[in-house]
């Protein structure tokens, strides 16, 4: 096993930037763009180190779910000394004004399936006193600005056939609460329940808040960018794989490269 020495100074300004996604299709193109790429195998994961748009990065597939994502984030911090972590992927929309093809950047993140009441308040992570993990403000703002710049020309990025296929017209970038849980929300009843309980939540996914917890505990800046693939309702699984390949992966690469080339130092 090729394992770098542990780095206890995880938030060092000289460390690389960790880029994480849950699905192979979301990192495949990034890996082709890395210069000086080298795979470091730890456990069941390959961490790809290299340089992207002038920035040292570590790109890794976390796989799906909170435990897988938290485990991956812990290794990024402890073994690679990353100075910031960005999670990129898809999510289901919850808020009425968030549409398929939009992007949501986290301002805060919460695990909606955590409930240790009455011992602790609902959603609070026991013994931390925290339910809502704050994204790093500068990092989130840089990603939001990058997303807005990329979405200013969706036709050039996606092409008319893809936009028409998924009903994307004028995609917007939003900032707000993203919630995470270990289930794929795919019914109208489930999404209505989440909206009633957390009315300010913009989107729901399966990893971000777990990574936010790890980064909080280590003092490492974190933010998530999520492309809206569905409305987290009864049609949530329709053309999911096609959306990831034709929309999400293009968005993620473009937004990350826009941010890395001009705003990474803000992290």
Contacts of 69 (CB under 8 A, 6+ apart): 20, 22, 62, 63, 87, 206, 207, 208, 210, 211
Strand stretches in the chain, DSSP E: 17-21, 35-42, 45-52, 55-61, 84-93, 103-111, 133-134, 173-180, 201-205, 222-230
Q: What is the pLDDT of residues 44-100, one digit of tens each?
A: 999 999 999 989 999 999 999 999 999 999 999 999 999 999 999 999 999 999 999
Give the DSSP H/E element, type plus range, for residue 243. Answer: helix 240-243
Based on the residue annotation, tell me whether 230 is a catalytic residue of this protein: yes
In tens, the pLDDT along 130-188 reads 999 999 999 999 999 999 999 999 999 999 999 999 999 999 999 999 999 998 887 88
- The token duo for 56 is 């040292």
- Identify the domain containing residue 253 by its residue range: 89-266
49 belongs to a structural domain: no
| Catalytic pick among 25, 26, 102, 145 | 26
Question: Which of the following is catalytic: 124, 145, 230, 248?
Answer: 230
Record the tokens describing residue 127, joined without a space: 């013994």
Q: Is residue 61 part of a domain?
A: no
26 is a catalytic site residue: yes
pLDDT band at 2 (very low <50, low <70, confident <90, very high): very low
| Residue 254 belongs to some domain of the structure | yes
- Whether 162 is in a domain gets the answer yes
Measured CA to CA in angstroms, residue 14 lies from 10, 27, 55, 83, 190 at distances of 10, 24, 11, 7, 43
Q: Is 52 helix (H, G, I), strand (E, B) or coil?
A: strand
CATH of residue 262's domain is 3.40.50.1580
Domain membership flag for residue 110 = yes
Question: Quick check: is 10 in a domain?
Answer: no
What are the tens digits of pLDDT across the range 124-133? Answer: 999 999 999 9
Of the two residues 186 and 118, the one the predictor is more confident about is 118
Higher pLDDT, 4 or 254: 254
pTM of the predicted structure, to 2 decimals: 0.88
Q: What is the pLDDT of residue 142?
A: 96
Q: What's the confidence (pLDDT) of residue 185? A: 86
User: Which residues lie closer than 8 Å to 175 by C-beta, 6 or more apart?
Assistant: 104, 105, 106, 107, 140, 144
Distance CA 62, CA 47 (A): 10
CB-neighbour burial class of residue 195 (10 A; exposed 0-12, middle 13-18, buried 19+): middle
Asked whether residue 57 is assigned to any structural domain, the reply reads no
pLDDT at 25 (0 to 100): 87
Distance (Å, whole) CA 8 – CA 94: 38
**Is the per-residue pLDDT at 264 higher than 90?**
no
* Domain contains 27: no
Chain segment 34-45, per-residue pLDDT in tens: 999 999 999 999
Domain tally, the chain:
1
pLDDT value at 228 more than 50 = yes
């Amino acid at each position: 096993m090729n394992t770098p020495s542990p780095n206890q100074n995880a938030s060092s300004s000289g460390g690389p930037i960790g880029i994480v996604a849950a699905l192979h299709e979301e990192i495949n193109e990034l890996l082709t763009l890395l210069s000086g790429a080298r795979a470091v195998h730890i456990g069941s994961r390959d961490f790809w180190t290299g340089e992207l748009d002038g920035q040292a990065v570590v790109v890794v597939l976390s796989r799906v779910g909170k435990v897988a994502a938290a485990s991956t984030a812990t290794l990024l911090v402890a073994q690679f000394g990353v100075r910031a972590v960005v999670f990129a992927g898809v999510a289901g929309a919850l808020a009425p004004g968030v549409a398929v093809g939009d992007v949501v950047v986290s301002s805060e993140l919460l695990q909606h399936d955590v409930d240790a009441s009455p011992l602790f308040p609902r959603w609070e992570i026991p013994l931390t006193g925290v339910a809502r993990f704050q994204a790093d403000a500068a990092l989130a703002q840089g990603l939001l600005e990058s997303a807005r710049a990329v979405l200013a020309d969706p036709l050039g990025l996606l092409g008319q056939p893809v936009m028409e296929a998924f009903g994307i017209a004028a995609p917007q970038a939003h900032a707000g609460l993203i919630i995470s849980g270990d289930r794929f929300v795919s019914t109208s009843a489930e999404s209505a329940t989440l909206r009633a309980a957390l009315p300010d939540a913009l989107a729901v996914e399966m990893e971000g808040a777990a990574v936010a917890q790890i980064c909080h505990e280590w003092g490492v800046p974190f933010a998530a960018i999520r492309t809206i693939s569905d409305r987290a309702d009864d049609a949530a699984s329709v053309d999911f794989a096609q959306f990831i390949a034709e929309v999400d992966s293009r968005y993620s690469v473009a937004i990350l490269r826009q941010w890395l080339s001009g705003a990474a130092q803000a992290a």
